[in-house]
């Protein structure tokens, strides 16, 4: 699939079928996370693959009952590694590691889409609660939860602003 086609066709999916993920797709999803760019190639990020079950239910509760998280066969909890990023001081800890994770998340969503899978970027959750559920050390900051599964809906695009609102050409 053409990359721009994937970028334009991907939609946030919040209804998932009950089908499991083929294990052959898991390693491609992992590659998509690992191959993203990162500041100084430090790869200041860490990912927790939570498969459907009790931990997934706890994570959904910590995400203010966004229950579609527990319906997906997989939820990837995407975290920043502030210890690795501290190589770049304050900027590393507060900015670079978040960008490292964000680059991986977008890769994940596009590769998942190219395999016919649905995802949604979930940013609304109680960080302290998610850290507790996964026993994260204090230097690992959960940034987003991405449920992954076969879509059971086909939502329309919510639209985007016109070019003139977001892009300036400077010559």
CB atoms within 10 A of CB 91: 12
Regarding 11 and contact with ligand FMN (CB under 6 A), the answer is yes
Among 66, 81, 104, 107, binds ligand FMN (CB under 6 A): 66
Give first-to-last CA distance, the chain, whole Å: 34
Give how far Cα 11 sits from Cα of 110, 114, 161, Å. 10, 12, 16
Regarding 124 and contact with ligand FMN (CB under 6 A), the answer is yes
Q: How far apart are CA 99 and CA 5, in angstroms?
A: 23
Residue closest to ligand FMN when measured from CB atoms: 123
Regarding 123 and contact with ligand FMN (CB under 6 A), the answer is yes
Regarding 121 and contact with ligand FMN (CB under 6 A), the answer is yes
Q: Looking at 20-28, 69-77, 114-122, 129-137, which segment touches ligand FMN (CB under 6 A)?
A: 114-122
Q: DSSP H helical segments within the chain, as ranges?
A: 3-9, 23-34, 54-62, 68-71, 82-85, 89-91, 97-114, 127-133, 163-166
Q: Looking at 8-16, 23-31, 46-54, 76-84, which segment touches ligand FMN (CB under 6 A)?
A: 8-16
Residues that bind ligand FMN (CB under 6 A): 11-12, 14, 66, 120-124, 158
């Amino acid at each position: 699939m053409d990359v721009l086609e994937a970028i334009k066709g991907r939609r946030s999916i919040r209804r998932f079928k009950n089908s499991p993920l083929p294990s052959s797709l898991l390693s491609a999803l992992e590659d998509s996370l690992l191959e993203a760019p990162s500041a100084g190639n430090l790869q200041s990020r860490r990912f927790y693959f939570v498969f459907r079950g009790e931990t997934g239910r706890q994570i959904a509760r910590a995400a203010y009952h966004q229950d579609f998280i527990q319906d997906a066969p997989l939820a990837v909890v995407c975290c920043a590694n502030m210890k690795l990023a501290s190589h770049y001081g304050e900027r590393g800890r507060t900015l670079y590691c978040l960008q490292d994770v964000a680059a991986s998340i977008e890769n994940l969503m596009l590769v998942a889409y190219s395999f016919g899978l649905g995802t949604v970027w979930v940013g609304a959750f109680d960080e302290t609660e998610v850290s507790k559920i996964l026993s994260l050390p204090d230097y690992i900051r959960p940034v987003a939860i991405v449920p992954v599964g076969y879509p059971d809906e086909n939502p329309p695009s919510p639209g985007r602003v016109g070019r003139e609102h977001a892009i300036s050409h400077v010559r």
